[in-house]
Amino acid sequence: MSQHHALFFSCPKGLESILQDELAALGGSDLRQTVAGVYATGDLTFAYRCCLWSRLANKAFLPLDKIAADSADELYEGVHAIDWSQHLRADGSLWIDFIGTNEGLRNSQFAAQKVKDAIVDRLRLPDGQRPSVLRDNPDLIVNVRLSKQKAVVSIDLAGASLHKRGYRTDSVLAPLKENLAAALLVRSNWLSVAEQGGAFIDPMCGSGTLLIEAAMMAADIAPGIWRSQFAFERWLQHDPAIWQQLKAEAEQRRQRGLARGLPEIRGYDEHPLAIRAAERNIEAAGLGEFVRVLRKRLEEFKRPTHGELNSGLLLTNPPYGERLGEHQALVPLYRRLGDVLKNDFVGWQAGVFTGNPELGKVMGLRSQKKYKLFNGSIPSELLLFDVREENFVSDRGERKIDPAAELSPGAEMVANRLKKNRKQLEKEFRKRSIDCYRVYDADLPEYAAAIDLYGDHVHIQEYAPPKTVEARKAEARLMEIQQAVASVFQVDGDKISVKQRRRNPGKQQYEKLQDNAFEKLLTVHEANAKYLVNLWAYLDTGVFLDHRLVRQKVAELALGKRLLNLFCYTATATVQAAIGGARSSVSVDMSRTYLQWARKNFELNRLSQWHELVQADCLAWLDSCREPFDVILLDPPSFSNSKRMEEILDVQRDHVKLIKRCMELLNPGGTLVFSTNLKRFKMDEEQLSAFRIADITRATIDRDFQRHPDIHRCFLITAA
């Protein structure tokens, strides 16, 4: 392959133009962009160099032929006509990567089988020897892209996607892909900033991808230098001498780049697991001496003061709410990011990569450039800022809710239902000294949300719209719900919290949105008890409204007795029981934050020292407990796989063991109150036949939850 050949390099959508520039710099000619890729012409050295040095490409393909593929037979004949002996031995191994369908080839797996058959038949020796199919590390990977009636048959030179550099040993949820991180740095003009001595900072660094890519660019380190293998290394036309020379040159450039030294590169994140992952990845990339990470919340973040850092690039990929309805909860985070930039980074360049550009408007900075990109399948934008006073704006673009605004027909329907429900519920709950209750629960199916009153504040939880509903229509309906709420309850946007409620399989009971649990606490009332709630920091507010009558039942049972509250959350049931006359109590939860919250609830209600809070894994604590109790409240999450727990909890699988252990701790005549929010829960009465079990679910569903009475299940369990 000393002659020049047409090559194709794939990339994420939105990176085509900068990939073309990169390929030109690497020696390519006859460059032409297409969707999610660039065509280029070059020799074998160019192809190898691109695999080693491209920071932006996903794959490198050597097209062999474009064949007719209107049917399986036509596909077979076209592939069979290619001289595969130039690329694979008869005793070698191959893998087929087939993409696309048409009228004649409706199943890509079947089409891949036909391609395999054609290659094997072409190479089969008279003695029957033939290539084998191997998914992992085959000698040849054949890529076939079918479009309409034509198929492009290519050799995959890369193998695993080129974004997999080899340094990522650890990761966090939804990490930024390496080539996308590199693209953000290119668009942010990072190399120019670095050449002028500017620093690089990522205040929400996750597992450190932006930091590592920034350091590798500044140090002239080939992105593929740490990869263990490329697919072309097993190809028959592979030239090891050329490849070894290119790798040696890359190693020399790496050593020279590190010897020159790097600008200041620092990352911060509030999550310890992210910091540990970043540290391991940085070490794996050989950059531990040059890149520093530190655990710090965005609320505490400022420009480092250990040196003169008067210029540089701050680039970050903050959370942006993949679901409609999380927008409101993330506004304070983006507002804080804007404040940090304006207060501490004047004179710097900044970039924010987000899937929700509307959130960028609340930062109070005018962006000078915007680039449309994709983060996986999510349309996103890179917002670039020149942080100077002339670019500060006072209007943060936050959506205003006017209680006096005229309502749309849809908002009017929601408002009418809210008025009707409030009229039915308000008088009764006022008599019971309750000012936090549900006033709407998807009463109108097209306006699917739960709306709860918390004193003079309103909490809206939008149920995730089905995929058949267009995003714009769903967002418009959510805004109509907010307008109806503002009109009926005469509150402005500052007193309305909007989130999206959805199932979280595999996640914890309480999903966190922000780390400001104690910044905006409100006091609400339930009978004689007072609770502190936060409508913004978490999907759950600090009190489960549907458990109101469960708490009341626990209080009745615990009068003059000793209570154990397991998985206590913010201990609202303990508060209710203590005020109702419980002699003493122990409340256990694994979360330090929720126990701090519980302690504030205790202080608010002036509870005595006879009510103890314990931070512990409830499962482990329960196994080691030797104290007797008169009443136990067991309300575990449906599922929990927290790394702080010694074992995974599945309430359906584990409820028998939990109940039996709790019953062992009960004094004679004691009662276990077992509650769960798992809708499909089924009590295993056969294994629990030694106990008397009473299903009291219906008696624990208050008026405001009778529209959806399956919200929880509740049982009283006593000795038989």
Q: Does the structure show a pLDDT above 50 at 645?
A: yes
The predicted model gives 556-581 an average pLDDT of: 97
Whether residue 368 is found in the same domain as residue 415: no
Looking at residue 326, its pLDDT comes to 52
* Number of CB atoms found within 10 A of residue 151's CB: 27
Q: Does the structure show a pLDDT above 60 at 693?
A: yes
CB 406 within 8 A of CB 384: no
Going by C-alpha positions, the residue among 519, 516, 540, 390 that lies closest to residue 452 is: 540
The predicted model gives 609-619 an average pLDDT of: 94
The predicted model gives 108-126 an average pLDDT of: 95
Q: Does the structure show a pLDDT above 50 at 321?
A: yes
**Within a domain: residue 515?**
no
**Within a domain: residue 526?**
no
Whether residue 340 is found in the same domain as residue 199: yes
For residue 60, the domain's CATH number is 3.30.2130.30
Angle at 406 between CA 402 and CA 409, to 5 degrees: 125
What pLDDT band is residue 356 in, cutting at 50, 70 and 90? Answer: confident
**CA distances (Å), origin 255, targets 43, 196, 297:** 27, 21, 35
Looking at residue 57, its pLDDT comes to 98
Instruction: Write the CB contacts of 470 (distance below 8 Å, at least 6 apart in sequence).
Output: none
Looking at residue 514, its pLDDT comes to 43
Whether residue 644 is found in the same domain as residue 708: yes
Question: Half-sphere exposure of 320 toward its Cβ, with a 13 Å CA cutoff?
Answer: 21
Whether residue 198 is found in the same domain as residue 308: yes
The 10 Å CB-count burial string (b at 16+, else e) for 632-664 is: bbbbbbbbbeeeeeeeebebeeebeebbeebbe
Looking at residue 289, its pLDDT comes to 95
- pTM of the predicted model over 0.75: no
Number of H helices, E strands in the chain: 18, 30
pLDDT tens profile 439-474: 999 999 899 999 999 999 999 998 877 767 766 677
pLDDT tens profile 258-302: 999 999 999 999 989 999 999 999 999 999 999 999 999 888 899
The predicted model gives 653-666 an average pLDDT of: 97
pLDDT tens profile 216-274: 999 999 999 999 899 999 999 999 999 999 999 999 999 999 999 999 999 999 989 99
Tell me the pLDDT of the chain averaged across its residues.
91
What pLDDT band is residue 327 in, cutting at 50, 70 and 90? Answer: low
| Domain final residue, candidates 364, 391, 418 | 391
Looking at residue 399, its pLDDT comes to 58
> Which of 172 and 8 is assigned the larger pLDDT?
8
The predicted model gives 667-672 an average pLDDT of: 97
Going by C-alpha positions, the residue among 323, 358, 325, 544 that lies closest to residue 449 is: 325
Whether residue 48 is found in the same domain as residue 149: yes
Looking at residue 323, its pLDDT comes to 44
* Number of CB atoms found within 10 A of residue 433's CB: 11
Q: Does the structure show a pLDDT above 70 at 579?
A: yes
Looking at residue 520, its pLDDT comes to 75
- The span from the first CA to the last CA of the chain, in angstroms, equals 84
| Domain final residue, candidates 391, 418, 452 | 391
Q: Using CA atoms, how far apart are residues 678 and 686, in angstroms rounded to an integer?
A: 20
What pLDDT band is residue 324 in, cutting at 50, 70 and 90? Answer: very low
For residue 512, the cross-strand partners are 538
Whether residue 417 is found in the same domain as residue 385: no
Q: Does the structure show a pLDDT above 50 at 4?
A: yes
**Within a domain: residue 508?**
no
Going by C-alpha positions, the residue among 545, 711, 572, 720 that lies closest to residue 633 is: 572
Whether residue 458 is found in the same domain as residue 568: no
Whether residue 269 is found in the same domain as residue 337: yes
pLDDT tens profile 345-354: 999 999 999 9
Looking at residue 400, its pLDDT comes to 65
* Number of CB atoms found within 10 A of residue 338's CB: 23
Give me the DSSP letters along 1-45: --S-EEEEEE--TT-HHHHHHHHHHTT-EEEEEETTEEEEEE-HH
The predicted model gives 204-221 an average pLDDT of: 97
**Within a domain: residue 128?**
yes
The predicted model gives 309-332 an average pLDDT of: 74
Whether residue 22 is found in the same domain as residue 149: yes
Considering the chain, what percentage of its residues have pLDDT values greater than 70? 93
Whether residue 152 is found in the same domain as residue 194: no
Q: Does the structure show a pLDDT above 90 at 128?
A: no
Secondary structure, 3-state, 434-455:
ECEEEEEECCCCCCCEEEEEEC
Q: Does the structure show a pLDDT above 70 at 8?
A: yes
**Within a domain: residue 402?**
no
**Within a domain: residue 635?**
yes
Q: Using CA atoms, how far apart are residues 505 and 500, in angstroms rounded to an integer?
A: 15
For residue 187, the domain's CATH number is 3.40.50.150
Whether residue 215 is found in the same domain as residue 133: no
The predicted model gives 504-531 an average pLDDT of: 66
For residue 473, the domain's CATH number is 3.30.750.80
| Domain final residue, candidates 333, 363, 391 | 391
Secondary structure, 3-state, 619-667:
HHHHHHCCCCEEEEEECCCCEECCCCCCCCEEHHHHHHHHHHHHHHHEE
Q: Using CA atoms, how far apart are residues 392 and 443, in angstroms rounded to an integer?
A: 44
Secondary structure, 3-state, 231-254:
HHHHCCCCCHHHHHHHHHHHHHHH
Q: What does DSSP say about strands 199-202 and 265-269: parallel, antiparallel, or unpaired?
A: parallel
Q: Using CA atoms, how far apart are residues 331 and 311, in angstroms rounded to an integer?
A: 27
Q: Using CA atoms, how far apart are residues 93 and 84, in angstroms rounded to an integer?
A: 12
**Within a domain: residue 506?**
no
* Number of CB atoms found within 10 A of residue 470's CB: 10
Whether residue 492 is found in the same domain as residue 540: no
**Within a domain: residue 574?**
yes
- Mean pLDDT check: name the lowest of 44-48, 180-184, 498-502: 498-502
Number of domains in the chain: 4
Domain hosting residue 568, numbered range = 535-719
Q: Does the structure show a pLDDT above 80 at 500?
A: no
